[in-house]
A = this chain, B = another copy of it.
Amino acid sequence: MKHALDKQALSQLFFDAHSYNRFTDQTVSDETIRDLYELLKWAPTSMNSQPARYVFVRSPQARERLLPALIASNAEKTRNAPLTVIVAADSVFYEHLSSQFKAYDATPMFTGNAALAESTAFRNSSLQGAYLIMAARALGLDAGAMSGFDATKVNAEFFPDSRWKANFIVNLGYGATEGGHHPRGPRLAFEQVARIE
């Protein structure tokens, strides 16, 4: 039987984690980027569909292409972040089902139903973006996620073939000790959001 992780691990993942707006100058290495994917890839998606795609924006040149698409407050947070991930969804994710999901041939479910393909891509790439945030924290990185940007501009700049579609964006790095994050907001109470039946 498994047990709860210790208090320090729960704190790093949840209780004491914050969305960071400012980071130290420390870069995020290729090795850490790959470690991050090797961790998050195991978390579950519907029919093992894994629709999320990731552009790790690290060079000054790539960053300059991204910044004009962000709303001003997010451009400010992103300008000096060591790494920014565009979490996208592959609109034709189901082309990989035949190798990734062997239980039955699920491909026709999606080729014949564009609305199902779109909602599956959106839901599951969002899950995978959340796994990326949790995996980053598990590795000792800090994250700051954002959805305030012009997706049409990001898609035109980074995905000109229109196959991948930006979902949301996550800054990653090592959070600044001073002024790295705002005081945390409140949270809704259990009774406001849940019921046990």
| Interface residue range, chain A | 35 or more
Interface of A is mostly: mixed
**Chain A contacts with B in 50-75, Cβ cutoff 8 A:** 50, 52-59, 61-62
Check A42–B56 contact: CB distance below 8 A: no
Expressed in whole angstroms, the Cα–Cα distance for A186 and B100 within the complex equals 6
Assembly of this chain: how many copies? 2
> What is the CB-to-nearest-CB distance from A143 to chain B, in angstroms, rounded to a whole number?
8
B58:A196 contact, CB within 8 angstroms: yes
A120 at the interface (CB under 8 A from B): yes
Cross-chain contact of A134 among B15, B43, B174 (Cβ < 8 A): B43
Q: 8 Å CB contacts to B: which residues of A116-133?
A: 119-120, 122-124, 126-131, 133
